[in-house]
Amino acid sequence: MIITVDGPAAAGKGTLSQNLAKKYGLAYFDTGMVYRAIGVMMLHSGRNLSDAVYAERLAGELTFAKMMALAEDKEFRSAKGGEAASIVSSYSGVRRKLLDMQRNFAFKPTFADGTPAKGVIYDGRDTGTVICPQATVKFFITAKPEVRAKRRFDEFAAKGQNTDFETVLKDVKARDERDATRKDAPMKPADDAYILDTSDMGIDEVFQKAVAIIEEKVR
- Residue 127 or 198 having the CB closest to ligand C5P: 127
Residue among 147, 156, 14, 144 nearest 80 (CA) = 156
Residue among 119, 117, 114, 93 nearest 182 (CA) = 93
Report the C-alpha gap between 111 and 149 in whole angstroms.
30
**At a CB cut-off of 8 Å and minimum separation 6, what does 104 contact?**
none
Interaxial angle between packed helices 79-88 and 32-45, expressed in degrees from 0 to 180 and rounded to the nearest 10: 100
C-beta atoms surrounding 56 within 10 Å: 19
Q: Which of 7, 12, 124, 128 binds ligand C5P (CB under 6 A)?
A: 124
| 4 contacts ligand C5P (rule: CB under 6 A) | no
- Residue 112 or 115 having the CB closest to ligand C5P: 112
Give the contact letters, 9-38, x = binds to ligand C5P (CB under 6 A), - = no: x---------------------xx--xx--
| 126 contacts ligand C5P (rule: CB under 6 A) | yes
| 78 contacts ligand C5P (rule: CB under 6 A) | no
| 86 contacts ligand C5P (rule: CB under 6 A) | yes
Report the C-alpha gap between 138 and 4 in whole angstroms.
5
**At a CB cut-off of 8 Å and minimum separation 6, what does 80 contact?**
43
Minimum distance from residue 8 beta carbon to ligand C5P (Å): 8
Which pairing describes strands 194-197 and 2-6: parallel, antiparallel, or unpaired?
Answer: unpaired
| 125 contacts ligand C5P (rule: CB under 6 A) | yes
- Residue 157 or 212 having the CB closest to ligand C5P: 157
* 144-183: contacts with ligand C5P (CB under 6 A): 175, 179
| 76 contacts ligand C5P (rule: CB under 6 A) | no
Residues at the contact surface with ligand C5P, assessed by CB under 6 A: 9, 31-32, 35-36, 82, 85-86, 89, 124-127, 175, 179
